[in-house]
């Protein structure tokens, strides 16, 4: 988790909306996923950081006695840094509840990442999991999921893991529109700019518009300032 920017960056804007514009933000989320209610989990305290909070990681939002923890230990490398979530919520659909795992972006560079795992650190396991997921989604085996858009790929893997282990969950990607460019960052100023970048991401990963997980992946485009 990067340090929170002073008035810029996805973490800053997400914190603003969750802290100062919660009703507005929740309304946008509820409409997108057709939920009746959304509530958000607290983060952990982390006194070692300048901002003394740490992100939710892996599947730590599940109760400690949940059987998925045992399956997770065999599914994903337990060394290194597991997938980090910018927010974790619980969405209510009438009487049912589902986990809502959030990734927020404010500039195009935040979409890009490479896998840093070594062969000793679980790279072979990640390759195997990606291979399984590609087959499930109808993606060609040669598509490179370890580079450029690795973060998106590993989030898909977590979503697939949860659904296959009886844990109802959805991915919510929050794309902030109109952030202040800083240090050369490319900050989309329109929803269309984001959608063009997302189309490039889908093309690189080989993902069709409709696939086995697409109903559980949502995107919202949120202005940094409502007018």
Q: Range of 88's domain?
A: 10-111+159-223
> Per the domain annotation, does 219 fall within a domain?
yes
Q: Which residues, 6 or more positions from 123, have their beta carbon under 8 angstroms from its beta carbon? A: 115, 117
Give 121-148 pLDDT, tens digit per residue. Answer: 899 999 999 999 999 999 999 999 999 9
> Per the domain annotation, does 83 fall within a domain?
yes
> Per the domain annotation, does 82 fall within a domain?
yes
Q: What is the 3-state secondary structure (H, E, C) of 10-37?
A: HHHHHHHHHHHCHHHHHHHHHHHHCCCE
How far apart CA 162 and CA 169 sit, in angstroms, is: 7
Q: In what order do the strands lie in the sheet with 169-177?
A: 37-40, 87-93, 96-105, 169-177, 217-223
Domain count within the chain: 1
How far apart CA 125 and CA 23 sit, in angstroms, is: 41
Diameter of the chain measured on Cα atoms: 51
Whole-prediction pTM: 0.95
Give 175-204 pLDDT, tens digit per residue. Answer: 999 999 888 999 999 999 999 999 999 999
Residue 1's pLDDT band (cuts 50, 70, 90): very low
């Amino acid at each position: 988790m990067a340090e929170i920017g002073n008035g810029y960056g996805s973490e800053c804007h997400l914190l603003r909306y969750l802290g100062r514009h919660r009703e507005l933000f929740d309304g946008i989320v509820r409409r997108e996923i057709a939920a009746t209610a959304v509530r958000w989990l607290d983060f952990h305290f982390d006194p070692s950081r300048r901002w003394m909070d740490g992100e939710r990681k892996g599947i730590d939002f599940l109760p400690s006695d949940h059987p998925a923890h045992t399956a997770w230990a065999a599914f994903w490398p337990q060394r290194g840094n597991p997938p980090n979530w910018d927010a974790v919520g619980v969405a209510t659909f009438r009487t049912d509840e589902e986990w809502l795992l959030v990734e927020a972006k404010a500039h195009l560079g935040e979409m890009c990442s490479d896998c840093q795992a070594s062969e000793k650190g679980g790279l072979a396991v990640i390759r195997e999991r990606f291979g399984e997921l590609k087959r499930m989604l109808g993606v060609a085996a040669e598509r490179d999921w370890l580079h450029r858009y690795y973060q998106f790929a590993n989030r898909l893997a977590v979503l697939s893991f949860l659904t296959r282990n009886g844990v109802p969950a959805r991915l919510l990607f929050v794309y902030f529109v109109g952030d202040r460019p800083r240090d050369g960052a490319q900050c989309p100023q329109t929803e269309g700019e984001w959608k063009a970048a997302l189309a490039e991401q889908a093309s690189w990963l080989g993902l069709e518009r409709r696939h086995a997980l697409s109903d559980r992946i949502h995107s919202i485009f949120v202005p940094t300032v409502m007018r």
